[in-house]
Structure 1
């Protein structure tokens, strides 16, 4: 978790109550492990690795016994938070959308991917920091946040995704700006590329700004973390907007000083809540 996104890891350790941190880390580990299996190797290798792991998770769900440290940790967290069981089952049922992903033809395809993969994966963690009962508002807020974050990741990670041959910006969007995959792969910082990046980042930023309302839907102990995560994503979006077409050469990161300010404000909020 620390290697994948250090600012979010520090935020969780700093802002969550100590009793909740191990469970959030455990849920995040399950999400990342599944993601790695679905992303590593040939398609046949990925499919086989996922099928094996899914079978082990389902056995752990059925027996209450894990066969390795990660499984045992997952079982323990589900015992502490029984509502996680249904979230895990929902994640397993649609996660192969990532296995099938090799790019999007349309915006509709991107939205379907968010519903099938991004949101169920995020809910593994979100269900632990959210309300005990949800009337649908919390999940809808999570959907707004993760869609915006996923869109930001796709445009911010253009350079990496182009190397892997799995572009996350829909082809119809490229066409609208008269940009081709070949243009992006060649690193051509044309006016169309600049406009494309700006539109995608601004769309992500609008969703992230709307996600500020999510903190009002979570219990007090989780509120500071949710606020910090949204603000750090907004800082990342601002960095990506400044970088513009240079994202073709590498991703943008949130500025360290700005991130520290966000964490300091959130830490004061967390102390007040406790």
Structure 2
């Protein structure tokens, strides 16, 4: 499968192929829903998505999983070194770091704004120091770099049927919806790391503070105040999904099944959280395997139909990326 994807994408250099394969393994190992949805894209576009995911995952791992005993200073140093490799790689178009090598190639082929990568790393640096957010506005500022720019990075790869600028706000909103869902699903795990991503103003409106969260996590006991706060956060997230939904029809037809599948599966996590009475501090909400399979099968059918109806051009070579348009025929930027 990997060889066919890379052949379809026109990637022939052995070292570059190995770099993309490294990113694909990161996606397959850590991003189950994301990877499943990516399989619905035309083969030529999948390596670019793997590269974007690999970059985000690699940076996130430096912040959270570099080493159990690593200090904040050590993590900051590692993140700074990674950013230096990134800046150099984007400037030169290549790198000895396989993740950066694949990302630099993808950024060149699809003419992705380098600012998005810098904004993402800025949010990762924030995670080294910031452990709470007072207001939703504060959290949204963080999520611009950690989530909204992910959607904006993806747009050139997915292609649009409207000018990219028209689709951009919806792509950014969908990135935020996905991350808010992750925050809700991972409340307990984040608390174990000393972080709370739910805004303090939302929690305090229901009489919830960090001490109550720690108590509930440690004892396994629920509390109606916590349930009410999680319910409000879930309602807020539902609103962001509604905000993002109109953007699906602006995507190129061959890309819609992929993003629709991700939309449905992530949205389903909210339904699982509700069905489990908002007990996110005690167990991780997981969409049942049968449901995942059904959604994936529906997505595969939609993708097959879209490909039959649509002529899909290959990716534009790097030397042409400066003159390419995001809304070019075939949906290739």
Give the TM-score normalised by structure 2: 0.76
Task: Identify if the C-alpha distance between structure 1 residues 170 and 85 changes in structure 2 by more than 3 Å, giving closer, same or farther.
Answer: closer
**Counterpart for residue 22 of structure 2:** none
CA deviation map 1:181-236 (0-9, x unaligned)? 12111114111111111111122123224433221111122111011111111111
- Correspondence list, 1:116-265, <5 A: 116-131=145-160, 134-187=163-216, 188-265=221-298
Counterpart of 2:47 (choices 22, 30, 43) is 22
Greater mean alpha carbon deviation, residues 221-230 or residues 126-135: 126-135
Unaligned runs of 5+ in 1: none
Alpha-carbon distance between aligned partners in 2 of 1:258 and 1:27, rounded to the nearest angstrom: 27
Task: Identify if the C-alpha distance between structure 1 residues 126 and 254 changes in structure 2 by more than 3 Å, giving closer, same or farther.
Answer: farther
In the TM superposition, residue 107 of structure 1 has moved relative to its aligned partner by 1.5
Greater mean alpha carbon deviation, residues 205-214 or residues 31-40: 205-214
Larger radius of gyration: 2
Alpha-carbon distance between aligned partners in 2 of 1:134 and 1:39, rounded to the nearest angstrom: 37
Alpha-carbon distance between aligned partners in 1 of 2:36 and 2:179, rounded to the nearest angstrom: 21
Alpha-carbon distance between aligned partners in 2 of 1:65 and 1:50, rounded to the nearest angstrom: 19
Counterpart of 1:7 (choices 30, 33, 50) is 33
Greater mean alpha carbon deviation, residues 168-177 or residues 78-87: 78-87
In the TM superposition, residue 175 of structure 1 has moved relative to its aligned partner by 0.8
- The structure whose residues are more often helix, as a share, is 1
Counterpart of 1:69 (choices 88, 98, 118) is 98
The answer to whether the 8 Å contact 2:148/2:172 transfers is yes
Matched, 1:106 2:135: yes
In the TM superposition, residue 90 of structure 1 has moved relative to its aligned partner by 4.7
CA deviation map 1:47-93 (0-9, x unaligned)? 11111111111111122221132222223223322235454355456
CA deviation map 1:154-177 (0-9, x unaligned)? 222111011111011111111100
Please give the secondary structure, in 1, of the residue aligned with 2:30.
coil
Alpha-carbon distance between aligned partners in 2 of 1:93 and 1:183, rounded to the nearest angstrom: 30
Greater mean alpha carbon deviation, residues 120-129 or residues 219-228: 120-129
The answer to whether the 8 Å contact 1:84/1:127 transfers is no
Counterpart of 2:299 (choices 261, 266, 272) is 266
In the TM superposition, residue 273 of structure 1 has moved relative to its aligned partner by 0.9
CA RMSD for the aligned pairs? 2.1
Alpha-carbon distance between aligned partners in 2 of 1:175 and 1:90, rounded to the nearest angstrom: 30
Alpha-carbon distance between aligned partners in 1 of 2:30 and 2:155, rounded to the nearest angstrom: 17
Aligned pairs, how many?
A: 273
Please give the secondary structure, in 2, of the residue aligned with 1:240.
helix
Task: Identify if the C-alpha distance between structure 1 residues 106 and 93 changes in structure 2 by more than 3 Å, giving closer, same or farther.
Answer: closer
Alpha-carbon distance between aligned partners in 2 of 1:126 and 1:21, rounded to the nearest angstrom: 13
**Counterpart for residue 80 of structure 1:** 109
